[in-house]
Amino acid sequence: MGIWILNAAVLNGGNELAAKHVLVEGNQIERIIEAGTAPDTSGHTVIDAQGKFLAPGLIDMHVHLREPGFEYKETIATGTRSAARGGFTTIACMPNTRPVTDTVETLKYVLNKAETEGVVRVLPYACITKNELGRELTDFEALKAAGAIGFTDDGVGVQSAQMMKDAMAKAASIGMPIIAHCEDNTLVEGAAVSEGAFARKHGLKGIPNESEAIHVGRDILLAEATGVHYHVCHVSTEQSVRLIRQAKQIGIKVTAEVCPHHLLLSDEDIPDSMDANWKMNPPLRTPRDVRACIEGLVDGTIDIVVTDHAPHSEEEKARGMQLAPFGIVGFETAFPLLYTKFVATGEWTLQFLVDKMTRLPAEVFGLPWGILEAGRTADLTLIDLETEKEVNPAEFETKGRNTPFTGWKLKGWPAMTMVEGKVVWSE
């Protein structure tokens, strides 16, 4: 017995929405027909989309599920439910757990948990170095064979250029990407916010843009030397965008991602209350950096959007700007934020935003999802583009309440999420 999704608004290849009926059989999209035709729905489950927008399931290639080790912040169960509520059907989780994902055993633990308790597809990264200490490479071949989709020490930058070059050469030899958290530790110690207006106003030590861009520049040269697919995490500075743009122009295999908060907020938006829900890594930069990130996304320098979903407990975030951990939650607000700010205002097309969150993440990482057409996997997200609602962290599925977007009025809220033909979340 299949599922008919009736009266859905589907992008027709341009930026026009067309009314369609979509038949899902098993885990596949079987047929897509014009809504003017009445299908035979006998023996099928029927979902009336009532004109809501049907997109391919969203893909998030940078998330923190916190398990194992930090289950008080998030679990694979709560994190994947949160992802489903945000319209995501595939997510890639970072290895900075406890223990870190630097062995086959820990990687298999994550995969098994995702299989038994998760509601969306979970793709785990493995560490570049043992314990993320930057001293010794992990067993890349064994971790790839066990199901790792790439290597990263996210949460810390690999400080040694020689270690990074060795990692890239090894990854290139087995056809795997290196995903880099770019941060020079000598420039960031003891700082909680960006080096900008907010830091100056409050007499705080700031994190300079160069702390990120120095690693981006270094790694681009190492990627050129080794031929690896090098992917830059959460780009936040004008200098990084410039370096990535130049690298792409001369054919170096570099891709990059940006988070909604670095497209929407600058350090000038941080409240004087020093609310640590505005503390994230990379930090909020200057308005100039925000403009550079937007331009980079639009011109293709930055390939994809990710959330960097990073839940923390309310107790941790209550410690204040200097002592609280870095990070905000992102799954449940990502699409509405970007839709409201950029698509509803006419700055971007709907197709552009959807591509940056579906088709292009799949292309960058060689995944078979992210496209809505007959014969494809039935990963689907139904989105209400009209109803305006306030961001209310009390309603989140994630354990994390740490967001700077509380109270924002947004449109573009997911209403139903389907993974491989199975509804995993619905309003």
* Residues across the chain: 427
Q: How many CB atoms lie within 10 A of CB 390?
A: 11
Q: Give the ranges where 227-349 is alpha helix by DSSP (H).
A: 238-249, 260-264, 287-298, 314-317, 334-338
Q: What is the DSSP letter of 203?
A: T
Q: Using an 8 Å Cβ cutoff, are 87 and 58 in contact?
A: yes
Give the three-class secondary structure for 61.
strand
Which helix or strand (DSSP H or E) is residue 84 part of? helix 76-85
Query: CB neighbours of 288 closer than 8 A, spacing ≥ 6?
Result: 238
**Interhelix angle for 210-226 vs 238-249, to 10°?**
20
162 CB-contact burial (10 Å; exposed 0-12 / middle 13-18 / buried 19+)? exposed
Q: Closest Cα to residue 93, out of 144, 158, 150?
A: 150
Query: Is 421 in contact with 25 (CB distance < 8 Å)?
Result: yes
- CA 100 → CA 32, 132, 137, 329, 330, distances in Å? 43, 7, 13, 20, 22
Active site residues: 308
Helix (H, G, I), strand (E, B) or coil at 387: coil
Q: How far apart are CA 275 and CA 255, in angstroms?
A: 33
372: which residues sit within 8 A by CB, 6+ positions away?
Answer: 10, 11, 22, 29, 32, 54, 55, 56, 380
Q: How far is CA 197 from the centre of its chain?
A: 28
In angstroms, rounded to a whole number, what is the distance separating the alpha carbons of residues 44 and 322? Answer: 56
CA distances 170 to 128, 175, 219, 392, Å, are 10, 9, 15, 45
Q: How far apart (Å, rounded) are the C-alpha atoms in residues 284 and 265? A: 7
Residues 6+ apart with CB under 8 A from 342: 263, 348, 353
